[in-house]
Amino acid sequence: MPSGKAGYVIVKSPSPAFMIGLWNDDRYIKYYERFGYYLTGDYGYKDEEGYLYILGRSDDVIKIAGHRLGVGEIEETAHIPEVAEVAAVSVPDEIKGSSIVIFAVPKEGVTDYEMIKKNIKEKVQKELGKIVDIKEIVIVNKIPHTRTGKIMRRVLRALINNENLGDISTLEDESSIEEVKKALEEIKKL
């Protein structure tokens, strides 16, 4: 796959650390024997220097009007030069089943938030199609992460839907939750 192009992460050579099976279930070894590689279940890309970047789980999908879109694919597409980080989550939609809310962290010095929103929406719809219904683009200074750096999408969904946040003991920075709450309140005022 060309560098910079996102796709499914596979591993061609077996490693002692890879699971070859489960108790009474040998699907992993059968898959390797059939195709000659391990499907990791991750979505990512390699850069020009050969470094691998994991964008997310390939099975983490949002279904919009019968179309299945990977969260990593949406986030990669929504990443424009003016933002440092993006996170995409699904929210219920009466007609299409789901729509998308994108959280974007602008790069330092970028203050034209309307331009960011416009550019993200245009890029996503150009590359993924008009079917991608972006309900809202929320500009924040921080996105909730675990201590290992994973985006806490379930927390973002809970904040959008005014639900219980659940266990947040792995949260890296509690101020990120307040940041998202504040941004969502501003949107509701409009």
- Active-site positions read 59
CA quadruple 79, 155, 56, 58: dihedral sign: negative
Residue at 159: amino acid letter: L
**Distance separating alpha carbons of residues 130 and 121, to the nearest angstrom:** 10
Q: Are 57 and 39 in contact (CB under 8 A)?
A: no
Q: Are 98 and 131 in contact (CB under 8 A)?
A: no
169: nearest Cα among 183, 186, 148: 148
Ramachandran class of 56: left when φ > 0, alpha when ψ lies in -120 to 50, beta otherwise: left
75: nearest Cα among 170, 153, 160, 169: 153
What is the DSSP code string of 103-128?
EEEEPTT---HHHHHHHHHHHHHHHH
